[in-house]
Amino acid sequence: MDKSPGYQSCKFTAIDGEESKTRPIPNNGQRLKDPSFEGEAEEWNFRGAARLSRWQRFNGDQSLEIGAPGGSAKQWVHLKEKTLYRLRCVVKGELDMLVGSKNAVYAENLKNTDPIEGSSWRSQEVDFWNKDRGSYEISLKASPKNAGRVFVDSCTIYKSTEVPPFVGSEKVQASR
């Protein structure tokens, strides 16, 4: 495994009969702390029916389980001005992803996902243009209409110029 600075080893755990794979997740440019919910950072604020789970996971040993209604996980991140970013998570269930401040939502993806080949997990992403430098809240919520729960793993935020080729769709784009 590559031990070069800026890389963290992450194991893609066998799920749904898939073979285990290992791939380094670049930390250089990655804005979220504890992106795979391994409990290494205290930056995630869980509310309501949100907790770490070993039952369903895509990457590593744990994922985030959010129950509806009212469950959520939030984290504040610092973003640069005049920069295009991608927020991406791997999900099972219906997730609302939001980027904002205490008073406004600047970007959102409400349940729109794409399949991940060979997996029952789905990729959910939102590309957004950040106009002003500052701290922004990343909010992950079980969809209000979701009667059950959603599992979330491998959440990342990268600048558009730093998105690794295996993180979401090929083209990064957002309206300004």
What is the secondary structure of 103-161 as a DSSP string?
S-EEEEEES--EE-TTSS-EEEEEEEEE-S-EEEEEEEEE-TT-SSEEEEEEEEEEEGG
pLDDT tens across 128-168, in order?
999 999 999 999 998 776 667 899 999 999 998 887 776 77
Distance of CA 28 to the CA centre of its chain: 16
Asked if residue 50 has pLDDT above 80, the reply is yes
In sign, the C-alpha dihedral spanning 69, 73, 76, 79 is negative
Q: Is residue 105 part of a domain?
A: yes
Q: Is residue 56 part of a domain?
A: yes
- The domain total for the chain is 1
Q: Is 39 left (phi over 0), alpha (psi -120 to 50) or beta?
A: left
**What domain range is 111 assigned to?**
31-162
pLDDT tens across 54-99, in order?
988 898 899 999 987 789 999 999 999 999 999 999 999 889 999 9
Q: Is residue 8 part of a domain?
A: no
Looking up tokens 């959102």 gives: 108
In the chain, % of residues over pLDDT 70: 77
Q: Is the pTM of this model over 0.85?
A: no
CATH of residue 136: 2.60.120.260
Q: Which has more pLDDT, 69 or 127?
A: 127
